[in-house]
Structure 1
Amino acid sequence: MSRLTLVLFGLLTLWHRSAAVEITSLPDRALILQFEKTGALLSISHKGKTVLESKIGYNRDVRNDFYEEEGILNITQVPHGFKVKWETVKLDTELKDCITFQDGVHWFGGPQRKEQHWPLEKMKIDGSEAYVLKQLDNFSVAEYYWLSSLGVYIHVNERTPLFVDQNNKEPNKLCFIAKAQSPYINRKRVILEYDIIIEDNARKAHMHAVENVLGKPKGHPNPMMVKEPIWTTWAKYKAKITDPVVLDFAKAIRKQNYTAGQLEIDDAWEKCYGAQEFDTSKDKFANIDSTVKELKKMDFRVTLWVHPFVDNDCKPTSEEGLKKGFFVKNPEGSTRATWWNGKDSHQIDFTKPEAAEWYAARLRKLQKSPGIDAFKFDAGETDYAPQPGVYDNLDQELVPNALSKHYVETCAQFGDLIEVRSGWRTQSLPVFIRMIDKDSNWGISNGLYTLITTLLQMNINGYSLVLPDMIGGNGYTDLPDAELIVRWTQANTFMPAMQFSYLPWDITSKKFDAPKIVKKFVDLHAEKSDIILEAMQEAVTSGKPVNPPIWWIAPEDPVALACDDEFLLGEKILVAPVIKKGATSRKVYLPDGNWSDGNSGKKYQGPLTIDSYSAPIDVLPWFIREA
């Protein structure tokens, strides 16, 4: 087999019917490219150490057939790294490059999932589904960003019609695939373009990404959402809510001497889905004006669950939306969408300014009467719309994720008391982004374990203003018991906000005083809220994560880089929650530095592993990093 090996400290350009090498200076970074008939082997080293191994141009002879018959491949120098770009006008062409997972090297970023494995190389992703925001498998935050423990990050250009296959068809590989298949339509070319940026370690690489591709928030949510609990009707009552139910819920909270905080009226308040008007029938919300006034007298801020859909039988709203062309349609002109509450519905097209304003104007009416303070915005993923969605107002290379971006931007105009659940290049917005619904279990299958791993995934994608889902989960299959409620509360204590639906005094145990323990940690959260707000302000100022992984303060520590069950609050506090049922102790790892036990004041010098930290049901292991 004929091979050509090039060692470069600069720029390689391959183009139509020719190949050339131009040598320039790129200190400490070397790119080695070896051509074969089945692709090209790419290796990048930094300071003499291999930091990335990849195969580009899978199953094609990149020396001949691609750039002589189909398109162009360029590998060029950019500041701090290299850019790989394939481009072809042959729309039936599939482009594919794969990164090899190296032994001992960890990866971060990637998509939000139900089984939220961390680090990322543990995860399996099926490349048959487009890498877009979708309701399937909790895929509501999925930036085109991957970060390695060796200080390399890959950022794929948003114009790439991206599919990702990981540990699936190609075991031990992360494969980027570009093809003009649904939902990527109306394209004039196929590109696979990504930057490979190399820094000294993962922390420096991530900060480079924040400054150059991810961005940072322009502000943070209202401090009262941090200091006080959020109470939502959803998990406890599901759709069985009425004026009396909501008032009884609020009175029970105040009776237990909790701060009122924010009360969310969740699903089943509308007269029909999409009307954005209360169902004022006698057995629902006939007295909603009085209810809202009473809630505010009890010092609650009142918010309302909303969504971006209109059911077809919700007339005249659906008729108006159809007449004015405000709904997403597919190439056949159908506007039929499906979501969890409706199979014959419509998705509002937020890429049309007139449609976004139509939606927002009706929410502003709710703010005036009955006096709603803010909103919990649900959904936002792309695949509820009829597929593939057609968006005439958009640059077609930004379809379909731009629908999510425009929706979240519309939501953000409603101020600093709101929450959203989807995110696509919206890291700059000063609002809470909520973890998608968690289940009431302990494990990695969307349970308590994933409260931590999802927190890390979102922070390393640039979404630091994280609202954890309801304490104890949503109770979709099993209800949480008292132990799960307590341990979930503890794990949530040093995260930005605490959200309850199952009331702690309703789920009790004969073995311990669950309500007393929960209140202890709600009070601890409030006591430390200034530190949380300080970390949020630091995110605004510098882009540093609010709740980073523990390697953030030890980016070359192999134990810290592999850790998936501890996290930091800023750079001051390390938290190691108990997340195993029945456990009364756990192993704790403290990276380099001077540490003080948050419970006992005992001093530790890291790096150190505490093999069995005693943590009975009323103890959360947490540590203060001393200067």
Structure 2
Amino acid sequence: MWNPSPIPQVSWDTTLRGGGESWKGTVACLILGALFTVTIGFVYWQVVDHSHKTWILKGQLTELLWDRRSHHLLIQTPGGDKTFLNINVGDLANPDLGVPFVRNLCWLNKTSFCYRWESQVDVRISLDPGDSEHAECYNVTWGPLHCHVEVKNCFSMEGMKWYGGAGVKAQRWPINEQSAPLQPYMLSDLVIRPAAYGSVLEHYFLSSSGVAILLSPMAPLQVGIERQRQVCVRVDPGTHPQPLHYRVCVARNLKDAHQLMTRQRYASAPVMPNIAMLRSSLWKFPEHVGSGERLERELRTFSNRLKRHALGPGVISLDEHSTSLLLYTYSAHRHINWKGVSPVQHLNLSITLSPFLSLGSLQGQRSHRESGHQRLWISTRTTGGKQQAPVLTWWRGELCAKLDLSRPTSARWLSEEMLKASAHLGAEHVVMETGEGRPPEKDSVVAGEYLRRLGHIAAQAGDTTILTSASGSSELGLFVQMPALQADWSYSGLKGIIPAVFLHSLMGYPFFIPDAVGGSLAREDEVDEELFIRWLELNSFLPVLSFQKPPWSFRSDRALNLTRSYLSLHTEFVVPLLEKYAQEWGVSRNPVYRPLWWLTPDDPHTLTIDDQFLIGDEVLVAPVIDRGALQRDIYLPGADLQWQDRRTGQVHWGGALLQLYPVALEQVAVFLRIHT
């Protein structure tokens, strides 16, 4: 309990004064009365209003308090001028809201606090000065003593913006505007489970108050987001009680907090992917054919069409079905030319593989036979209990078995098959489907470990490998495929791209493949020309341009001509920028693509801007993402910075909103920072 300040001693002079000075006595009495009232008010505020708050730990910059009335832990400045973090720890099966939570069992330790809460949970909190004089960190552990005890902490969103975590359908920035039910914290297919988490997932959250939180991945977690209220974390109930552990770091602002936590998350420099891939464009092969010979003919036709329309050194991207069909055809018929080279090796191909095997297809049966009696697949015992049978799950519309990557033989078999397929077809890139969520994993720890193992196997195919989702894999130097989007202007479509760019960048994945221009969940007739053009303009400033609907399929040549133009812009202007800031990322892990608050973290206007982004510190891009719009508002950060319109040459001071700035259909608003 905080001790109230003592009431100041007051000396009273009762000597009679002359009548001419009676007014002075009146004034003195009024002043003393006001002072007494203020003092009593301060005492009441300290004793009554704050009696439910207890000081636990105190650092140089912050202090940790316990509010036993609300069951909240508070991290705030000494004196309480600013609250950095408000944690609701719940009731822990105890209806008594008056739990004192004050006895420190870590005897004579000023940097640690230990407590056993009603024989339910062991709590341990330690204060760590961190690696900066302007930051402090707390390590928090809640260890349940019984299986039935629910350990759940919720981080309040009140008065602050939150970022990070995992990808969702209709991605928002900040995440205050999105919702997700409390569920196992693991990756799923967002097309099948739209309320789940997908694409990328990290155990890391960031707040505009200057707080970074790193959750331990060693316990099976459930995470939920309540829109505009809180982010909740719970240990997945199981047969064995497991602790909830997380680290909270507090810095001057959210940029400093992110850089501090980044230094602590990674012990070594990341592996750099092959930056040359940024100069390639990906073209999803649109045909589904029934034979390998016909597929080969269609591929040659499609490749010739790309060349005829002068669309650069495009890479034709094959899905898993087409890849499997080609491999089966050439393996079964030894379909090679007189030089001993597969007929498609002269084409620039990207092939797709996965840890699944369809037992109903001819190629699947062949692979199953070739794998012999090796126990490669996730299996369960048969009814008799003497034999193992593969666990079947639906994948791409077929019943499949899934490789058990916990077995070295399975990992080795997949690696050999991947390298063999890549060499045989002369593939430029390998896309590894991660098959997240199928079959349902036991818990988030098992799911995360499977994905990390798959990432390490995929990395053996080379430094241009693409993963369809990632978690804990940012050090591998791989490209990550963004989730599929709808062909519309909503956050499930075009508007969701920039929030997803920020998420991938801050979570440690700067080399991503955005979804195809126009959205890959679209039927061919769903993508109108305006949406295609605005999508093309935005994606031109991202690492790799990807297409599903060919630009020559529109009635006019405008989309085709603009595609050529923006492919050139990407190669000549964007790629050199990305190469420059990729080198910076390799040293400091500062993101390549940055939200506007990266330049001015104390400017509240920048905290919610989700339709503009920075490439490094020198280029600001503000695409149009609203249907029919030919003008838009643009915020330029930094009151002491100057920005030059790349198209007109006009110079503007930062810290200002350019209202209704004209942006024609064929244009993107791009501003270059002027260094003085």
Q: CA deviation at 1:623?
A: 0.9
Q: Which amino acid aligns with 1:538?
A: E
2:605 is matched with which residue? 559
1:548 is matched with which residue? 594
SS of residue matched to 2:200: coil
Cα deviation, 1:467-522, whole Å, max 9, x if unaligned, reads: 1111111144563122111111110122111112322122244xx72211222111
Size of the aligned set, in residue pairs, is 582
Identity among equivalent positions (%) equals 24
Q: 1:285 to 1:189 in 2, by over 3 A?
A: farther
2:367 is matched with which residue? 317
Q: 1:174 to 1:239 in 2, by over 3 A?
A: farther
1:192 paired with 2:248, answer: no
1:612 is matched with which residue? 660
For the 8 Å contact 1:336–1:344, the answer to whether it is kept is no
Q: CA deviation at 1:256?
A: 1.2
Q: CA deviation at 1:6?
A: 2.0
Q: 1:296 to 1:315 in 2, by over 3 A?
A: closer
For the 8 Å contact 1:151–1:203, the answer to whether it is kept is yes
Q: Which amino acid aligns with 1:255?
A: R
Q: Which amino acid aligns with 1:328?
A: I
TM-score (normalised: structure 1): 0.86
Match among 128, 137, 154 for residue 98 of structure 1: 154
The farther-off stretch of 345-354 and 557-566 is 345-354
Cα deviation, 1:400-447, whole Å, max 9, x if unaligned, reads: 2110111111101211221112111111111111102122222112x0
Q: Tell me how far apart the structure 1 counterparts of residues 404 and 572 of structure 2 sit (CA, whole Å).
A: 43
Cα deviation, 1:575-603, whole Å, max 9, x if unaligned, reads: 11111111111111110121111111111
SS of residue matched to 1:164: strand
What is the correspondence of 1:238-249 to structure 2 with a 5 Å cutoff? 242-249=295-302
Structure 2: give runs of 5+ residues left out of the alignment: 1-47, 102-114, 131-135, 383-387
Q: CA deviation at 1:338?
A: 2.5
1:578 is matched with which residue? 624
For the 8 Å contact 1:280–1:286, the answer to whether it is kept is yes
1:266 paired with 2:343, answer: no
Q: 1:520 to 1:385 in 2, by over 3 A?
A: same
Match among 530, 546, 557 for residue 499 of structure 1: 546
SS of residue matched to 2:471: coil
For the 8 Å contact 1:472–1:485, the answer to whether it is kept is yes
1:522 is matched with which residue? 567
2:15 is matched with which residue? none
Q: CA deviation at 1:89?
A: 4.6
Match among 308, 311, 325 for residue 255 of structure 1: 308
Q: Tell me how far apart the structure 1 counterparts of residues 458 and 394 of structure 2 sit (CA, whole Å).
A: 19
Q: Tell me how far apart the structure 1 counterparts of residues 483 and 268 of structure 2 sit (CA, whole Å).
A: 21
What is the correspondence of 1:455-470 to structure 2 with a 5 Å cutoff? 455-470=501-516
Match among 442, 455, 471 for residue 388 of structure 1: 442
1:23 is matched with which residue? none
Cα deviation, 1:234-264, whole Å, max 9, x if unaligned, reads: xx33567711111111111111112214222
1:75 paired with 2:125, answer: yes
Q: Which has the higher contact order (CA 8 A, sep 6+)?
A: 1
Q: 1:288 to 1:547 in 2, by over 3 A?
A: farther
Q: Tell me how far apart the structure 2 counterparts of residues 437 and 216 of structure 1 sit (CA, whole Å).
A: 32
Cα deviation, 1:366-391, whole Å, max 9, x if unaligned, reads: 2332333331112342x2125437xx
Q: Tell me how far apart the structure 2 counterparts of residues 285 and 256 of structure 1 sit (CA, whole Å).
A: 33
Q: Which amino acid aligns with 1:150?
A: S
TM-score (normalised: structure 2): 0.80
The farther-off stretch of 616-625 and 41-50 is 41-50
Give RMSD over aligned pairs. Answer: 2.9
Q: Which amino acid aligns with 2:221?
A: L
1:162 is matched with which residue? 221
Q: Tell me how far apart the structure 2 counterparts of residues 560 and 609 of structure 1 sit (CA, whole Å).
A: 11
1:431 paired with 2:478, answer: yes
For the 8 Å contact 1:216–1:543, the answer to whether it is kept is no
2:353 is matched with which residue? 306
1:152 paired with 2:204, answer: no
1:207 is matched with which residue? 259
For the 8 Å contact 2:93–2:149, the answer to whether it is kept is no
Q: 1:206 to 1:215 in 2, by over 3 A?
A: farther
Q: 1:195 to 1:322 in 2, by over 3 A?
A: farther
Q: CA deviation at 1:555?
A: 1.0
For the 8 Å contact 2:344–2:425, the answer to whether it is kept is no
Q: CA deviation at 1:220?
A: 2.9
1:403 paired with 2:447, answer: no
Q: CA deviation at 1:621?
A: 0.7
Q: Which amino acid aligns with 1:570?
A: G
Q: Tell me how far apart the structure 1 counterparts of residues 522 and 288 of structure 2 sit (CA, whole Å).
A: 10
1:363 paired with 2:418, answer: yes
Q: 1:605 to 1:388 in 2, by over 3 A?
A: same
